[in-house]
Amino acid sequence: MKKSLGYCASLVVGFAMPAWAADSEISPSTYGATHWGYVDFGAALFSGDEEAIAYDESWDGEEVFLKGAYVWNFASDYSFQLDVSSSSYSEDVSGETGGINPYDFSRSGSSWDVMGHLTQNTASGHCYGVYVDLGGSYSDDNIYAALGLEGQLNYDTWSLYGSLGGDYGIGGDAGSADSRAVVAQAKATYYVNPNLGLTGFLSGADETWSAGDNSQVNWGLSAEYKLNNSPISVYLEYDDMSFSGENAFDKWDGDQQTIWVGFRYHFKNGTLQQINQNTF
């Protein structure tokens, strides 16, 4: 089945992160705007497999993703960003239980997420702040909330991003099972030129709940290119996820590979580096 531990958006998508080409650190005020943002549409193909004591399973499917982000620069060195996203997937699953009972079925699902970032921008071009996240599923009553710290260092053609937070089940089965997770993420982006960014990312999560535990590690690579003098950028991403867990009755591990392709429409023009320096 399509695997995710239910964590909010801070763990999910790893597209190119900010930097701005220069020979030294650059102040965020260089972008010269009081508000900006983007609309992001992506589509993915994924496949994976899982082995457990009680069953073996494999799956493949597709997913679509729509996100809007808007940033308000409400003071000379403070900004607030609001992200709203929705995704939907469908998959075909096959497996067997006990090594002798095969099964096949199809399923689909969808989810939503709302995330806020409060950020202070330093005169040297770096930024740091806090994020709050709320997400859940349209098909059931599971709801997760997250709170954490994040920061970003901007140098000449490089940008480094990191975050650390907690994720908590507050509704549905996730809430009744007392789901809790520690989530960490790191990203590094190199800008080949002002409109082409290459990103590598790594994230991990460790979840416990009343009946067991889960762990998950994601790594991936992405490239984003903004068309010259256009508000459109396009991206391609590869994401590899591995997971494992256990409860009183079973133990499991598996992995999933995902390829994303999509585009962003930016509300304010500029180079990709200029825009991304001011947007998570």
Domain boundaries, the chain: 9-277
Buried b (16+ CB within 10 A) or exposed e, 18-42: bbbbeeeebbbeebeeeebbbebeb
CA 12 to chain centre: 2
Yes or no: say if 190 and 158 are a contact pair by the CB < 8 Å rule.
yes
Helix, coil or strand: residue 55: strand
Of 7, 3, 256, whose CA–CA distance to 145 is shortest? 7
> How much of the chain, in percent, has pLDDT values that exceed 90?
63
Q: Global pTM? A: 0.86
The string over 87-101, giving b where at least 16 C-beta atoms fall within 10 Å of a residue's C-beta and e elsewhere, is bebebebebeeeeee
| Neighbouring-strand partners of residue 129 | 119, 150
- pLDDT confidence of residue 13: 35
Give 135-187 pLDDT, tens digit per residue: 999 878 889 999 999 999 988 898 999 999 999 999 888 888 888 999 999 99
End-to-end CA distance of the chain: 30
The confidence score (pLDDT) of residue 4 equals 53
Q: Which CATH number fits domain 9-277: 3.90.1150.10, 3.30.420.40, 1.10.8.350, 2.40.128.130?
A: 2.40.128.130
